[in-house]
């Protein structure tokens, strides 16, 4: 029985995906990141614990809302039976349909979230209706922070946020979606947050020594122009010959 249910749900899910990718042009593959040859590009999804975490929140929410609907319906049914019977259908509708949609949306959200890391940059794709892709080079990263709540710890996941210079981070952007903040790339719900943090920080340190160099070497090397050096050489030769 449960196998059949699983089969059916998989089938429905594949159908929904088919519609999304065909009609709503949701890309099925992870985003590509241009990189120099010979370097590895790693693309991954959030950990499976993230899906469980979202589902846990979903079940808690479902329980709370459906319990409220049930209690209200029961009260009406006891006090006004005809009214209660009339309201039974919409009550059932509101108890079931949004849950199915939200449950599907959780799966879709999980499957449309992609993180791509190359040796120089990262790219994050998120979203179903509005697909949002963020690209940041490690050269521009200012700090990396890891956040983990108690529930997330239970599921063994954490969020890594990678911030670049510039104002208007998460704090001042509270009204919108937390992942559409500017100057910040949020890698949500990964099991190996510390590995990713180390990965980015090591690349950050590497680029600090070499990558920033190509910015700072420029004035250092051109501190003396060729004419100045030529003049100096002339002076030396003049003194030497006189």
The contact set with other proteins (CB under 8 A) reads 24-27, 29-32, 34, 36, 120-121, 129-140, 164-169, 172-173, 181-183, 185, 207, 210-211, 213-215, 217-218, 221-222, 224-226, 228-229, 232-233, 235-236, 239-240, 242
What is the smallest separation between the CB atom of 203 and other proteins, expressed in angstroms? 10
30 or 84: whose CB is closer to other proteins? 30
| 60 vs 229 by CB, closer to other proteins | 229
DSSP lists the bridge partners of residue 122 as 117, 136
Which two three-digit tokens encode residue 239?
């003194």
Nearer to other proteins among residue 197 and residue 203 (C-beta): 203
Instruction: Tell me the closest approach of the beta carbon of residue 230 to other proteins, in angstroms.
Output: 9
Q: At 158, which helix (H) or strand (E)?
A: strand 158-164
| Closer residue to other proteins, CB minimum distance, 53 or 179 | 179
Nearer to other proteins (CB atom), residue 149 or residue 176: 176
Q: Minimal distance in Å, beta carbon 144 to other proteins?
A: 14
Q: How far is the CB of 166 from other proteins (least distance, A)?
A: 4
Please measure the distance between the N-terminal and C-terminal CA atoms of the chain and give it in whole angstroms.
105
Q: Minimal distance in Å, beta carbon 191 to other proteins?
A: 25
199-213 burial, b if ≥16 CB within 10 A, otherwise e? bbeebbeebeeebee
Count of C-beta atoms within a 10 Å radius of residue 113: 21
Task: Work out the angle between the directed axes of helices 81-112 and 48-79 (0-180°, nearest 10).
Answer: 170
Angle between helices 81-112 and 2-23 (to 10 degrees): 70
């Amino acid at each position: 029985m449960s196998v059949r249910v699983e089969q059916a749900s998989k089938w429905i899910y594949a159908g929904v995906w088919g519609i999304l990718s065909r009609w709503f042009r949701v890309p099925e593959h992870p985003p590509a990141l241009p990189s120099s040859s010979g370097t590895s590009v790693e693309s991954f999804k959030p950990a499976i614990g993230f899906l469980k975490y979202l589902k846990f929140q979903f079940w808690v929410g479902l329980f709370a809302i459906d319990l409220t609907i049930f209690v209200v319906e029961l009260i009406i049914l006891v006090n006004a039976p005809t009214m209660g019977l009339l309201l039974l259908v919409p009550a059932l509708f509101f108890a079931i349909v949004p849950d199915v949609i939200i449950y599907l949306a959780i799966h879709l959200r999980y499957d449309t979230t992609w993180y791509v890391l190359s040796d120089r940059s990262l790219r994050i794709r998120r979203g179903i209706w509005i697909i949002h892709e963020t690209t940041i080079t490690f050269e521009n990263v200012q700090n990396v922070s890891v956040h983990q709540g108690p529930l997330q710890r239970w599921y063994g996941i954490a969020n890594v946020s990678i911030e670049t210079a510039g104002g208007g981070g998460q704090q001042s952007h509270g009204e919108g979606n937390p992942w559409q903040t500017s100057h910040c790339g949020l890698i949500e719900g990964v099991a190996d947050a510390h590995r990713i943090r180390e990965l980015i920080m090591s690349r950050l340190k590497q680029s600090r020594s070499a990558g920033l160099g190509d910015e700072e070497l420029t004035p250092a090397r051109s501190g003396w122009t060729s004419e100045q050096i030529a003049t100096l050489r002339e002076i030396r030769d003049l003194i030497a010959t006189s």
